[in-house]
Structure 1
Amino acid sequence: MEEDDVTEWEEAEVGGAFPRLAEAALGALGELAENCGAAFLPYLEPSLAAVLDLTQFPQCQVRGAAYEALGSLSCCGRGRENQTAPSPAHQGAFQALLSGLRAEPEVGGALGAVGGVGRILQAPGPAPKEWLEPIGAALCDVIAGKIGCLRTRRDGDETSQLAELREAASDWLLELGAAMARAQTGSDPAQTGSDPSHTGSDLTFPPHLFRRILPSLLAALADPAHPGARSWAAAVIGQLGHALGAEATPFLPYLGPALRLAAGDADAEVRANVFYAVGRVGEAAGHAHLEGAWPGAELCCHALREGGEGPGKVRDNALGALVRLGVPYEQSLPLALRSLPLSQDLQEEAPVLRWLLGAGTERLLPHVPALVRGVGPALALNRLDPALSQSLLALLRRVGGPTPTTSGWAWPRWTPAHAAILGRLLDDVIADQ
């Protein structure tokens, strides 16, 4: 490219084909840097110079693509044997990415910068330990609205832009927390074969980062005008609160009253995420059954009693929370059985049914019709893992007597087809024993 061409792109090409070509080229460059690994290192510095030039392009879509490419360049070659500390070129790409994220004047560019941060966290091999705190600080500042594009907007669309950016940033927080925990313990999931989000410790998110964003989360949870913000805040509190493990305890006095109030929200999606948070945070902190320390048991029981939540995601999540909170079976079992089967949030199904198995035959004998009604759909529709299905079928056989056939049982609200399927499953279990 001639020098004159370089100086003309700001004027002549902004409205033409050049921006689209630049975006495509930046995307391809990032892919090459990621996939070629160490083979790309000889081209790193000239590529970095070209990408840095495009972070000043007038159109934010090109700047966003440039920031994503910086994320790829900052970790190209990572994961190779005998990996050393980041080179000056890697450090330069990383610092340019974080500086661009903080100073970027438009949301499109900032979204690209958040995507670049995600590429660093997802690249092969662990991110350099010294990069994790700056990444955490930058993501927290996005959520708190402290970056350039959110401080300078005055066009009336600030709330939706903030929501878009902070959701993108929050999507990386759990992965960041897991990386920080791995760096602290020195474990590597690639070598152990473990889940990358679990490090063998209850703590997979640092409390100081949670403390940094807690005011923003609580403000969003109480935002009267935007149910989407309230729903997002409740979900993030649930995810991060669970990842805090026992370190969630100091935050209970702040979270408990906020979630208690939000549990009465007029929006069903907000309430569903509130109960998600109630269960996850209470389970992590270990104070769930103490209503003075955590309102979980009280809120869940109220939602599941007659006159509370009807069938749907809110009731499903309230039930999922109830079984995580350590509420005694004498109090929780009747409420759980009347709330089954789950109707929408089937991710809660396996935890709830495993909890039912722990109730024991003696407690379940007075509730056989409700038990069959509650577990039957999951069994008849074959949506459980085989081990859980077999355990539940064995339980039904025990509570149903010596010959638990479909003709001898009550089938409240059951279709003949489902009853026949479950009957055959029971017959199979009996034949195997």
Structure 2
Amino acid sequence: MLLALKSNEGITAHVEEDKTFVLLDDDDDDDNDTELGEKDSVDFLVDEPETELHDVAGFSVENAYIDEKEDACDALGEIAFSTGAAFQPFLESSFQQVYEMRDFPHEDVRRAAFGAMGQFCRAQHQVWKENPTETNHQALLKLLDVVLPCFVENVRTEHERQVVMGILETMNNVIKSCKEEAFKNPARLKDISHVIRDVLKKKTVCQDGGGDEADDEEHQAEYDAMLQEFAGEGIPLVAASVPADKFSPFLNDLLPLLMSKTKSSCTVADRSFSVGTIGEILQALVTAPGGPGVAGRLSNRLLPVLVAGVRDSDAEVRNNSVFGLGCLAQAAGPIGVTDYPMMLSVFSNMLTKESDLRVIDNLCGALCRMISTNVDAVPLEQVVPALVGCLPLKEDMEENKTVFNCLAMLYTHSPALVLKLMKPIVAASTHVLGNNKVDQETQITLAQLIKEFAQHHSADFQAAVTSLPVEQQATLSAAISAS
């Protein structure tokens, strides 16, 4: 694979025509064009002193060799990430060869090279986590110090949108894997935040409208939207990787760019992307050091945007807005309590009107985030029965974690309320236990709650169980036995 990357076989340099003859005689120019492949192409490896580099008009590369280099980059990245420590003896030499491909004439090879560089970083991070020596840590930081600035520079200067999309996606994966290690260099947070900002503002070379003339405006707009989505996806990943107070100045610059896409005049895709990204940023602030303080300060700016979103005509925009409101309540913590009455009113109105199943699932999740964060600020006797009445969740299985963690907490906080709702909770649990779409941790939490019902409130529990079909009874029995 390294030989495939080193090889210049199949690459041909084309010598620029003498401009004097072009100016004097168009016919000569035509003749020369037809003979270009025969007379004026030179082997890239041949050293001919009369052919200066500035005389070379361009290069052509045979498809088979392009494919070979692209495949070699892809394979090296995958092997490094899959084999971890076993790849260490080959990491440096592989990286050097792949790094050389970042300027290769063909875009597919460049894209594959950037992808492999990201995989090398993730592989080294994995090696360090498994064997946290100082040597492994320094190797990771050294790699990141080369790769991330390379990504940032090429997002700005690369002409091909597809390559830039690949770089942004790879950079997101590196940040997601390496988290705070990606930001050990003091300049890194600013550099990455600013390049995300530049993509959102359409200030990079590939967004200047000077690309392939064959691209119609519709395709260019589609590519620009995709580019901005890849850039936007990086914001919550950065928010989850650094202390919130450090990221706050950059977040203040980025949020208006997202909020400008939430207006009713924007496309559905833009509205969905922007409110979804805002929700993910708030979700990241839940666990980021200093996150609640930053989320609390942002609340006045974001609340109107998200409330407007829950009234959108498009279900996906409503869904993302509901998710964002729940995350805002969770991230802001005690600071957000003053907004609870208004948010509960919005959710109450939605529950009576909403027909989209995914939106209803996320309404349940948002209510549970509010309860779990500030249980005393929610009128439980009204909210919890309405919440349980929407179970089981139909579409968004990930929200089961939020819902059943909340119900388990409520069983400790307000056992009488939960026991009154035992029958619908038990019925809903049969759709979660043993469901491979629900994570194991959530299933364990739910199984423990059901076991509590069975052990300490056996009569009510048996009554709830016997009202179920036989198959669901068997599911419960198996879950209790296993827990």
TM-score, length of structure 1 as denominator length:
0.75
Partner of residue 267 from structure 1, selected from 314, 319, 322: 314
Give the AA of the match of 2:381.
Answer: E
Structure 2's unaligned 5+ residue stretches are: 1-7, 14-41, 45-52, 211-215, 286-290, 372-377
Give the AA of the match of 2:200.
Answer: I
Answer yes or no: is 1:109 the counterpart of 2:152: no
Partner of residue 363 from structure 1, selected from 414, 417, 421: 417
Matches within 5 A, 1:25-424: 25-28=72-75, 30=77, 36-37=87-88, 40-41=91-92, 48=99, 50-54=100-104, 57=105, 59-69=106-116, 71=118, 79=128, 81-82=134-135, 84=138, 94-118=148-172, 120-121=174-175, 122=177, 126-127=181-182, 129-130=184-185, 132-133=188-189, 134-152=191-209, 155-181=217-243, 203=244, 206-222=247-263, 224-244=265-285, 245-246=291-292, 247-286=294-333, 287-291=335-339, 295-304=342-351, 307-310=352-355, 312-326=357-371, 327-357=378-408, 358-359=410-411, 360-379=414-433, 384-395=442-453, 401=459, 404-405=462-463, 411=467, 416-418=469-471, 420-421=473-474, 424=477
Identity of aligned residues (%): 22
Distance 1:132 1:87, change over 3 A: closer
Give the AA of the match of 2:188.
Answer: L
Give the AA of the match of 1:267.
Answer: D
Distance 1:124 1:26, change over 3 A: farther
Shift of 1:263: 0.2
Distance 1:129 1:38, change over 3 A: farther
Give the AA of the match of 1:343.
Answer: K
For residues 69 and 361 of structure 1, what CA distance do their matches in structure 2 show? 53
SS at match of 1:346: coil
Distance 1:328 1:68, change over 3 A: same
For residues 480 and 97 of structure 2, what CA distance do their matches in structure 1 show? 70
Give the AA of the match of 1:216.
Answer: L
- The structure with more helix, counted as a fraction of residues: 2
SS at match of 1:228: helix
Distance 1:22 1:281, change over 3 A: same
Distance 1:17 1:266, change over 3 A: same
Give the AA of the match of 2:470.
Answer: A
For residues 282 and 220 of structure 1, what CA distance do their matches in structure 2 show? 22
SS at match of 1:152: coil
SS at match of 1:180: coil
- Deviations 1:284-316 (CA, angstroms, capped at 9, x unpaired): 102444237x84322222222xx3223611011
Give the AA of the match of 1:401.
Answer: A
C-alpha contact 2:447 2:480 (8 A) present in aligned 1: no
Give the AA of the match of 2:327.
Answer: R
Give the AA of the match of 1:103.
Answer: T
Give the AA of the match of 1:152.
Answer: G
Structure 1's unaligned 5+ residue stretches are: 182-202
Shift of 1:110: 0.6
C-alpha contact 1:75 1:123 (8 A) present in aligned 2: yes
- Deviations 1:23-76 (CA, angstroms, capped at 9, x unpaired): 22333455677764465446766764x32441xx2x433332343355567899
For residues 389 and 151 of structure 2, what CA distance do their matches in structure 1 show? 53
Give the AA of the match of 1:299.
Answer: V
Shift of 1:103: 1.7
C-alpha contact 2:295 2:332 (8 A) present in aligned 1: yes
Match of 2:3 in 1: none
C-alpha contact 2:102 2:113 (8 A) present in aligned 1: yes
SS at match of 1:212: helix
C-alpha contact 1:75 1:120 (8 A) present in aligned 2: yes
Give the AA of the match of 1:142.
Answer: V
Shift of 1:420: 3.5
Distance 1:373 1:171, change over 3 A: same
Give the AA of the match of 2:271.
Answer: R
For residues 311 and 242 of structure 2, what CA distance do their matches in structure 1 show? 36
Shift of 1:406: 5.5
Shift of 1:169: 2.9
For residues 480 and 171 of structure 2, what CA distance do their matches in structure 1 show? 55
For residues 422 and 355 of structure 1, what CA distance do their matches in structure 2 show? 22
SS at match of 2:249: helix
Alignment RMSD = 4.0
Q: Decide which moves more: 272-281 or 30-39.
A: 30-39
Distance 1:40 1:381, change over 3 A: closer
Distance 1:128 1:367, change over 3 A: closer
- Deviations 1:226-272 (CA, angstroms, capped at 9, x unpaired): 32222222221111112222111121112111111110112212211
Answer with 1 or 2: which has the greater Rg.
2
- Deviations 1:123-164 (CA, angstroms, capped at 9, x unpaired): 699336225322232234323433222232673333321232
TM-score, length of structure 2 as denominator length:
0.68
Q: Decide which moves more: 18-27 or 416-425.
A: 416-425
- Deviations 1:372-406 (CA, angstroms, capped at 9, x unpaired): 44444335869652342132342366567367346
Distance 1:348 1:236, change over 3 A: same
